[in-house]
Structure 1
Amino acid sequence: MTNAQRADLPSYQQSLIQLDGQRLCTKYLPEKQRVAWLKEVIGREYANVDIQAPKEMPLFNDMYLFPWQRGMRLSPIHSNALSIQRLAQEPDNAEQDCYFIVMPTKGEYKLEQDGKEVFLKPGEMTLYDATRPHRIEMPTAFSKLLISIPRYTLEGLVRGVSRLTATNLSKRTNMANVTLAMLAGMLKQMNQFKAQDFQSLAEPALQLITMTLNQANGIDSKLSRHRELALHRVKNYIAHNIDESNLTARQVANSVGLSVRYINNLFTEEQTSLMRYLTQQRLMLSHQILSSHLYNHFSITEVAMRCGFNSLAHFSRVFHEMYGLSPRELRKQRK
């Protein structure tokens, strides 16, 4: 490939190897095989769906997948017109249990979920739950950026995030414009990044997404921007170390460079404290695991240990206090 030809490629196509990315494209497949192939790929990488393409044009879809920190993934996608409908079945793997941030960069985009619908144009963004029924319509050729964020991560950072599905976030908060500008700029410059630099952008991107969603949800933080970022840093540390059963308030404080008193003051706005927040996050994670068939092979004890509880009796007691039934009863109820 000549330098001129390479310059015409999207910056992220030039970065596949250095950023450990993957490209999945219908280009070299016979047209009659493309629908089945794309359905299988989307089902494996994102969610179990049914797809339809207009008969008047050949199906074309070109997607790139780049792994990011915190279990997130960044996916630029280009396609001809397409309709996608989420099938009514549970995810096939834990990686599909996530939310998607969507940013169209070309064409029209319509999303339906939870009885709501939203129409987007380039420069706007929305959110949907990949595990719940939804329908997506792209009536013309389109491009979009898709960012998948694990459910546990986003629900731990944004209260009531499920209320924001299928809404135009750009019309609900100006913070969306800041987030979009950051993501669009990063997309254009991906060929300039080394792997470490690219990974280091995941956390700032997640911080902006978190602030966008909280503001769109009507949660106007009383904290200054400095204190808000400090609180995000604490929550981020907890999320990364939630399986450590001996995690203490002092250890968290020392690791993020803040005092225990200061951190508890930050949590005051959320009507909780550092250690209560830690227990709540452990319980939310355990509830998510016990509610999914993907983790049936974990015993109750294994779930407790993975979520940072070193006493099964204590885990069962606080779980019952929060959810009104025991971990074993929840698992039986789901079956």
Structure 2
Amino acid sequence: RPVLRDRVAGIDRCTALRIPGTNGIGFVAANFLRSCATHADQLQTHEFFTLSDHALDLLTLAVTSVRPLDINLSRSRAASINCIKTFIEQNLRDTELDTRLITRHAGLSARYINNLFEDEGTSLMRYVWKRRLENCRKDMQNPAYAGHRITDIAFRWGFNDAAHFSRAFKQQFGCSPREFRRIQVHSNQTYNQERCDDIDCFIKNT
């Protein structure tokens, strides 16, 4: 739910929802997740991270398809915030992405847009910074970016000040980017060793 909160407007009001797995997007999502689970032991770490993003996208679509619209989240408001979030996702790397640019694209006032995000316990620009930080964190977790400098990753996601990025990252995740990467490298090494041990055990027992 915390992950979906940034993707699905009104997710906190979605409880006891049944997503049909026999048709539509529910069917697509269910089969994708089932296939990932079946072949998980054959995936490289970087492939797993990429597929997890796709799985989250499908789950977002599935939840959105059955999400009820209540008095606090009218169809118009839901459409507006989803449109704004889509624009933000498409432009996170743009260092010029700010309130002015977003309001101009949406054709809505800054006050109204911030009111939309208040329903989710945040503000427009806090949401933008959080999404940038989340993407930086995912890249630092992904072995495919192990050779990339932390600063390069931050700048690729729209940050233009390394010190500000480091402070924001620590505030969001509880540790500095450098500490996070060190922990992640150790975690990946442990994961790979465990996979090798499992394969060796399987070979010995066949």
TM-score range, shorter chain: 0.5 to 0.7
**In 2 relative to 1, CA 247–212 (structure 1 residues): closer, same or farther, beyond 3 Å?**
same
Match among 112, 123, 130 for residue 280 of structure 1 = 130
**Structure with a larger share of its residues in helix:** 2
Deviations 1:26-84 (A, max 9, x none): xxxxxxxxxxxxxxxxxxxxxxxxxxxxxxxxxxxxxxxxxxxxxxxx89x9xxxxx93
| 1:300 matched to 2:153 | no
Secondary structure of the residue that 2:119 maps to in structure 1?
helix
Q: Helix, strand or coil: the match of 2:38?
A: strand
- Highest RCO, 1 vs 2 (Cα 8 Å, sep ≥ 6): 2
- Which structure shows the higher strand fraction? 1
| Mapped pair 1:84 → 2:18 | no
C-alpha change, 1:322 and 1:255, in structure 2 (3 Å) is same
1:329 to 161, 179, 192: 179
Give the CA deviation at 1:95.
Answer: 3.8
The aligned residue for residue 119 of structure 2 is 269
Instruction: Classify the secondary structure of the residue corresponding to 1:92.
Output: helix
Structure 2's unaligned 5+ residue stretches are 1-27, 32-36, 186-206
Kindly tell me the number of residue pairs found equivalent between the two proteins.
151
How far apart, CA to CA, are the structure 2 residues paired with 1:97 and 1:309?
A: 24
Deviation at residue 261 of structure 1 after TM alignment: 1.0
CA RMSD of the aligned region, Å?
Answer: 2.9
Query: Sequence identity of aligned pairs in percent?
Result: 34
Structure-1 separation of matches of 2:45 and 2:67? 28
Spell out structure 1 runs of 4+ moving beyond 3 A.
Answer: 91-95, 212-215
- Counterpart residue identity of residue 287, structure 1: R
Structure 1 unmatched runs, 5+: 1-73, 78-82, 101-128, 130-148, 159-205
Q: Relative to 1, partners in 2 of residues 1:278 and 1:214: Cα closer, same or farther, differing over 3 Å?
A: farther
User: Aligned residue for 1:212?
Assistant: 65
Matched letter for residue 264 of structure 1: N
Query: How many angstroms apart in 2 are the aligned matches of 1:93 and 1:257?
Result: 38
Aligned-pair CA distance for 1:93: 7.3
Q: CA deviation digits over 1:259-318, x for unaligned, max 9?
A: 111101111111111011111111111111111212112211111111110000000001
Relative to the length of structure 2, the TM-score reads 0.64
